[in-house]
Amino acid sequence: MASPSGMKAKGLSAEDFAEGLLAALAVAGEQTITASQTQLHRAFREVLSELTKQEGLEVDLRDVDYDPLYSLSGWLDQFLARAQRDLLISFPNPSYERMEIRVTPEEGQHLLDELGHRDAFTRFSQLFMKELQA
């Protein structure tokens, strides 16, 4: 059962986690991300891999898929489509492989306050950006 803040009693949904990651990126000032689809998916996969090693932050990842052969996640593509629909991000010109985070740093702070685990989200956003630059 969801609490008033949108958190699940035993942890976060995968969508809540991905939104928290976007919020932490916005708070860190990462408004524009230039990367191919494969780079985005691989960086997200690394974050999920690290998440499974951590204690203290439970995220329900049962529906999150990842195809190692193609380095793609259908779940992530669906999340990004919903995030664009909800105006959290935009892809001004997908052929340029650029994603703009439309969440302001203030909105990101508010979302992180609701989700909790600010330090964890900050670490995961840093790992995400590090993986994109690798």
pLDDT per residue as tens digits for the range 5-28 = 443 335 899 999 999 999 999 999
pLDDT at 64 over 50: yes
pTM higher than 0.85 for the full model?
yes
Q: State phi, psi for 86 to the nearest 5 degrees.
A: -85, 5
Buried b / exposed e over 56-88, threshold 16 CB at 10 Å, is: ebebebeebebeeeeebbebbeebbeebeeeeb
Task: Tokens for 100, please give them.
Answer: 């703009």
Residue pLDDT, tens place only, 70-128: 889 999 999 999 999 999 999 887 666 899 999 999 999 999 999 999 999 999 999 99
d(CA 120, CA 65): 22
Residue pLDDT, tens place only, 30-58: 999 999 989 999 999 999 999 999 888 89
Q: How crowded is the C-beta side of 85, counted as CA atoms within 13 Å?
A: 6
How many helices and strands in the chain, by DSSP H and E? 5, 5
